[in-house]
A and B are shown apart, each in its own frame.
Chain A
Amino acid sequence: MEKTLILFTHPALEKSKVHRALKEGVENLEGVTFHDLYEEYPDFYIDVQREQALLLEHSKIIWQHPLYWYSVPALMKEWIDVVLQHGWAYGSDGTVLEGKTVKSVISTGGSEKAYCPQGHNYYPVEEFLRPLERTAVLCRMEYLEPMIFYGAFQLDGDALSSAVDRYRKYLQTS
């Protein structure tokens, strides 16, 4: 079975609801490496070699995080900046990531309706994920359709458990 690497970034998991539930639901699944970046690198000093080795060991990469200011949490950005080095991840010699897949698993405070031309975020979420999509593609990886959990503030009880299930199922079947 192909192995999945979940690169998880949430700066304040102690305050989180959605991602805490998601994390608990998937972190012990077989074939899944749950890699909690804020826990590993609380001072932002990322071990680049270790991160690159982890990438090489897995064929399916997941970027899991809440949407913050239409973008990624700061450490995720730092991770992209320092780990995806030229000549390794991209560039004419950077071919090691070729053929891997990347999928964003994100939660948003805004509802699905807010992410359309009539809503106050105007664009669908995918538009805001363009930078991530291009990053993956530049590194010769395939950027899969993202899994989005809208309306995170209102996501409770059954709705939250079914969200966790959706995520689990995806990981077990893909």
Chain B
Amino acid sequence: MAFESLFVSAFVYLLTAVICVPLAKRLGLSSVLGYLVAGFVIGPFVLGLVGEEGADVMHFAEFGVVLMLFLIGLELRPALLWRLRGPILGLGGAQVGITMVAIGAIGMSFGLGWQVALAVGMALALSSTAIVLQSLQEKNLTKSSGGQSAFSVLLFQDIAVIPMLAVFPMLATLAPAVSNDHRVEEVGPVQDWLAHQPGWMATLLVFAAVIFIILAGKYLFQPILNIVAKTRVRETFVALALLLVIGIALLMSMLGVSPALGTFLAGVVLADSQYRHELEADLEPFKGLLLGVFFISVGASIDFSLIAAKPNLVAALVVGLMVLKAAILFGLGTLTKLLLDQRMLFSLSLAQGGEFAFVLLGFGVAEGVVGGEVAQMLIASVALSMVLTPLVLILEEKVIRPRFGTRESDDREPDPMEEDAPVILAGFGRFGNFVGRLLRSQKIEMTVIDSDPDHVDFLRRIGIKAFYGDVNRHDLLEAAGAYKAKILIITLSNQEDTDSLIETAQKHFPHLKLMVRALERPHQYKTLEAGVDYCIHQHAGSATELGKAALVLLGVRAHRAERVTKAFRKHDLESVRLAAKKTHKDKKAYISHVRERLNDMERQFEEDQQDRQTPIDQAWDTQSVKNDILKK
């Protein structure tokens, strides 16, 4: 593709996304639908802005799915994944198996040979990971029990593609088509070599790759991430994150394994790492954008001439596919005792065909398993079912769900995927470490975010949940559990970072109580003005403690030193509060005010010197009692 035409396509894609997605959101629809419609609009049948290269773009944008699975992996600690093994294997296995057989049987009853019918069954049993997860995430339903079940099934499907791709060639009844599908065309030397190896060899290689990823995650990625993080060049870290994912994807596709699965695994391995939140925050925008492009290209790829030619057949296929899949899922949901509303969500969200159907059917045509015309028809139906999914989910949300009384309560059970400590401590340096240690001595759970890899390393070694990252990004805050935390303690050593973190927190997480370390007097004014809940001058505590100790060394009674120091601190804080109110409004007033308070302080100091009575501390004074006695 020429440079210019690349820009033109990028422009078209981005423009439609920018127009259609906000529009969809305005109308209360999901962004997925916005993208799909956008694709349909710029596709060959309406505006014709994208044509042949649409398939290329889709292939490229599938990388968004790969990224998404990496990110999902990052949220799934190995322990959690292990806990989900039941639903993944049981529920997922049952869904794929039953759906495959049912669709195959129907296909045979319509006169397809058993091989073709089985191949079609496999392709259509799978759902769209991209659409389902994106939609659920958008509606905040990923953690509902229905959402969790859907996720387990999708995960199983991702795994199931591997053996499906492997058996497809064995189902061939036709002569292999002279392929014009790009994906299968580009056969590299490795694939070529692989194709001539016995089955067990391929299996062995897949296992080796899996073990490689697990080991590399622990012993290779982690140290590299460490080194790059230390350079503190943000874009290098982003580059590394992308490199990791692309590298794994390449390796996996070379071995004929779903790249999404490989990156998912890498994600799981890195889920315990301190860089997890940073990786998440860095890759999230890429994922979002690529998925968007992917959805657009799905929309653009729908072949309307085919649909127009046989509208009834296509309609029957789409409706039949969705009803059948939903019915099977509903049955499984009943067996696993999902509540009615969750069962609805579970069965309707997974009722479509998915992007794997495109791959499998394309591959099937190439291998002579499925006839070109059948495949075309099915691909169109699958694409349509994908477009319908967001609509069905809206229907579910607006019409079906309100009719059922068994809603899952809003305060969902604590979610194991996210951090849920009541305290987030931003900055664990010279200052924050005191705060952190004090809280920890009281067994208070906290999540620490720090931008120094050495700090983070150390904290993790002593068992504190610490993450590397730029605290100023709200996505990272979110990942650190900002929605569940009660307080955010900001002890950064940099003023700009502190200010922007306050702003971010107030904007996105207004429920958080903010406690802030101010770096100097004017900063303290500013911070107080911003309306934080607590703010202390970074030196107020230690400096006055030293002053107090000096007083004692100079012979002042310790208890008196204690009290005058307290009085001083209180006075100081009052003057800061007063000044803060004036600061930004009137610079001049501020200056004269400072002078005034200074005089005030001087006066207090003078009075403090006079005699033994001080206006600051009249406690235990007996002078007036004596005067009283003398009067008698």
Contacts and interface: CB of A to CB of B under 8 A. Distances in A.
A12 B621 CA distance: 8
Contacts of B629: 153-154
Interface string A9-26: 001111100000000000
A38 interface: yes
B559 A38 contact: yes
B619 A12 contact: yes
B442 interface: no
Interface stretch (A39-47, A121-129, A158-166): A39-47
A33 to B, nearest CB: 18
B558 A15 contact: no
Nearest to A40: B558
Interface in B499-557: 556-557
B478 interface: no
Contacts of A40: 558
Interface in B593-618: 612
Given A42-B562, A43-B562, A12 B557 contact: yes
B560 A14 contact: yes
Given A11-B619, A14-B612, A38 B558 contact: yes
B625 interface: yes
A109 B622 contact: yes
B404 interface: no
Contacts of B557: 12-14, 38-39, 42
A150 to B, nearest CB: 13
B625 A109 contact: yes
B557 to A, nearest CB: 6
B562 A15 contact: no
Contact of B612 (A11, A15, A43, A153): A15
A15 B625 contact: no
A11 B558 CA distance: 10
Given A14-B612, A153-B629, A39 B622 contact: no
A39 B558 CA distance: 5
Contacts of A109: 622, 625
B626 interface: yes
Nearest to B611: A15
B110 interface: no
A153 B622 CA distance: 9
Contacts of B622: 15, 109, 153
A39 B561 CA distance: 10
A38 B626 CA distance: 24
Nearest to B556: A14
- How big is the A interface, by class? 10 to 19
B620 A12 contact: yes
Contacts of A39: 557-559
B283 to A, nearest CB: 50
B621 A15 contact: yes
Contacts of A153: 622, 625-626, 629
Nearest to A13: B557
A11 B620 contact: yes
Nearest to B548: A42
B438 to A, nearest CB: 15
B45 to A, nearest CB: 80
Contacts of B560: 12, 14, 42
Contacts of B626: 153
A43 B545 CA distance: 12
B250 to A, nearest CB: 63
Interface in B469-498: none
A154 B629 CA distance: 10
A153 B629 CA distance: 9
A38 B558 CA distance: 7
Contacts of B625: 109, 153
Contacts of B559: 11-12, 38-39, 42
Nearest to A111: B629
B561 A15 contact: no
B254 to A, nearest CB: 67
A126 B622 CA distance: 23
A159 B555 CA distance: 28
A43 B560 CA distance: 10
A38 B557 CA distance: 8
Contacts of B561: 42
Interface string A85-129: 000000000000000000000000100000000000000000000
Q: 6 closest Cβ contacts across the A-B interface?
A: A42-B558, A42-B562, A12-B620, A42-B559, A38-B559, A39-B558
14 contacts: A12-B621, A13-B557, A14-B556, A14-B557, A14-B612, A15-B612, A15-B620, A15-B622, A42-B557, A42-B559, A42-B561, A42-B562, A109-B622, A153-B622
Given A42-B561, A154-B629, 14 more contacts: A12-B619, A12-B621, A13-B557, A14-B612, A15-B620, A38-B558, A39-B558, A40-B558, A42-B559, A42-B560, A42-B562, A109-B625, A153-B622, A153-B625
